[in-house]
Amino acid sequence: MNHQPATMRRFTDKVTIATGGSSGIGRAIAIRFAHEGSNVVIADVDLEGAEKVAQEIRGLGRQVLAVKTDVINKEDVNQMVNTAIEKFNKVDILVNGAGIVDWALLAEIEEKDWDSIFNVNTKGVFLCTQSVAKQMTKQKGGKIINIASVFGKFGVKLFSHYNASKAAVISFTQTVALELARHNINVNAICPGDTMTPMMQAEVTTLSKRFGISEKEYLDGCVAKVPLGRLGTPEDIAGLAAFLASDDAAWITGQSFNICGGFYSG
Ligand SMILES: NC(=O)c1ccc[n+]([C@@H]2O[C@H](COP(=O)([O-])OP(=O)(O)OC[C@H]3O[C@@H](n4cnc5c(N)ncnc54)[C@H](O)[C@@H]3O)[C@@H](O)[C@H]2O)c1
């Protein structure tokens, strides 16, 4: 993946926690924020992946921690946040990027899969936000960015559990923004459309098989629905995350922003 060097340095000496920072969108955000001057904590179940991204970020001259964290586990989350505070004395930005997906029709969804999706995509956002907000409240400020999905705004066959988990994140963002506004903490959600990452590749592989078409045909079908004529890149999403974490977004809170090449505008 190519990472455009950021031309701005909006996060000099800031501290960012990026959950899901080992891969895809979370990784691109961690690297983009480091380019812009932030020190970074990568919190991910995939420690090996987190270490690799940490190595890249060290190469940019930033301080970085890779912390094995399962966002569905409250102890893990609190320990990760405490480790971040011990090392950096503060947390300025939280990006909740950890997420999983599954594809099944209503009749096929197993209870355990419903629970996994909601645990990671929704409860994980709650636990990380609650833990970090405690610190940001003491600091009298911060930015929280939740990676939801444009799929959280409409129906898509085979995605009822995933889409419901993302709709919940959009709703959670709206209410938490109201509660944290008086502490000068901005809370917003990003709703990406199809973005080429390992998660998207897994969708292409699984659903092309399910529909009996080639991966290329499946991908072409996805691209055909995008007015701007291509899938997103993780760096596209990182650019919006960086704007929302910057001072230019100081008067924005409780919003959810579609970034999907024009695929959906509601
Ligand atoms: N790729 C897309 O098209 C797309 C579109 C809309 C929204 N999103 C959302 O963007 C976010 C990032 O997705 P991606 O495409 O980069 O996926 P990805 O699979 O490349 O990355 C997800 C990361 O989350 C981590 N993770 C999974 N479960 C975890 C847990 N329990 N605790 C901590 N970390 C965990 C994984 O190890 C991985 O590093 C997800 O929330 C996803 O739902 C992705």
Q: Please tell me whether residue 180 adopts helix, strand or coil conformation.
A: helix
Does residue 3 sit within a domain? no
Catalytic residue among 33, 151, 159, 162: 162
Residues 134-178: tens digit of each pLDDT: 999 999 999 999 999 999 999 999 999 999 999 999 999 999 999
Give 182 Cα–ligand 1 centroid separation in angstroms: 30
Nearest atom within ligand 1 for CA of residue 49: 39
Q: How confident is residue 108, by pLDDT bands cut at 50, 70 and 90?
A: very high
Residue 131 in contact with residue 43, Cβ under 8 Å? no
Nearest atom within ligand 1 for CA of residue 121: 41
Q: Please tell me whether residue 145 adopts helix, strand or coil conformation.
A: strand
Q: What is the residue range of 106's domain?
A: 15-195+233-259
27 and 63 in a common domain: yes
220 and 131 in a common domain: no
Residues 217-242: tens digit of each pLDDT: 999 999 999 999 999 999 999 999 99
Annotation marks residue 218 as catalytic: no
What stretches of the chain adopt beta strand conformation (E)? Answer: 15-19, 39-44, 64-68, 93-96, 142-147, 185-192, 256-259
Mutate to test the pocket of ligand 1, among 25, 52, 225 (most ligand atoms within 8 A of CB): 25
For the question of whether the overall pTM of this predicted structure is more than 0.75, the answer is yes
Does residue 9 sit within a domain? no
CATH number of the domain to which 62 belongs: 3.40.50.720
111 and 28 in a common domain: yes
Instruction: Compute the residue count for the chain.
Output: 266
Nearest CA to ligand 1 atom 1: 195
